[in-house]
Amino acid sequence: MAARHGSHARLPVSEELVIRRVFDAPVESVWNAWTDPRKLALWCGPEGFTSPSYKVDLRVGGKYLFCMRSPEGQDYWSTGVYREIVPLKRIVFTDSFADSEGNVVAASYYGMKGYWPLELTVTVTFRKEGNGTVMTLQHDGIPRDMKSDCEAGWSGSFDKLERIL
């Protein structure tokens, strides 16, 4: 039997997004901003977006459910599972689009373009530097054509984080 060339679909290209920010705040404050749902709701989401709901079960295997509301009133839900938690050092969690009940949905549910895997991975590290904190976020699995939008969204979130610290 002859080999069939070209019968395999090309795999979509995804990228990792890495953002490093230095905050003029102690590690404990930056850590708490990531782990306290009341604080997360103050900064998580791009500029102009609000966070009307953020539920966190901060333990390995625990889940989060987050609602991000656009200035136009559109709700975008995400969920994930905490994979690793090293207090004041590192948080690793999955990231998926979800409905309001926490069920994982495809990105197309929200009209997102590009191929999005059902589950992405986010790693956040925290390191003391002088009196401040170096925070590095790595978000793996983002579609190449959405990387700049995701970077802008995270950067806007971190601008808000800086203001509340």
Report DSSP letters for 21-38, one per residue. EEESS-HHHHHHHHH-HH
Please tell me the predicted confidence (pLDDT) of residue 114.
80
- Name every residue whose Cβ is closer than 8 Å to that of residue 108 and which is 6 or more positions away in sequence: none
User: Three-state SS string across 82-135, please?
Assistant: EEEEECCCEEEEEEEEECCCCCECCHHHHCCCCCCCCCEEEEEEEEEECCEEEE
pLDDT in tens, 37-96: 999 999 999 999 999 999 999 999 999 999 999 999 999 999 999 999 999 999 999 999
Give pTM, 2 decimals.
0.89
Domains for the chain: give ranges and CATH numbers: 15-164 (3.30.530.20)
| Pairing label, strands 63-69, 14-23 | unpaired
| Better-predicted residue by pLDDT, 92 or 144 | 92
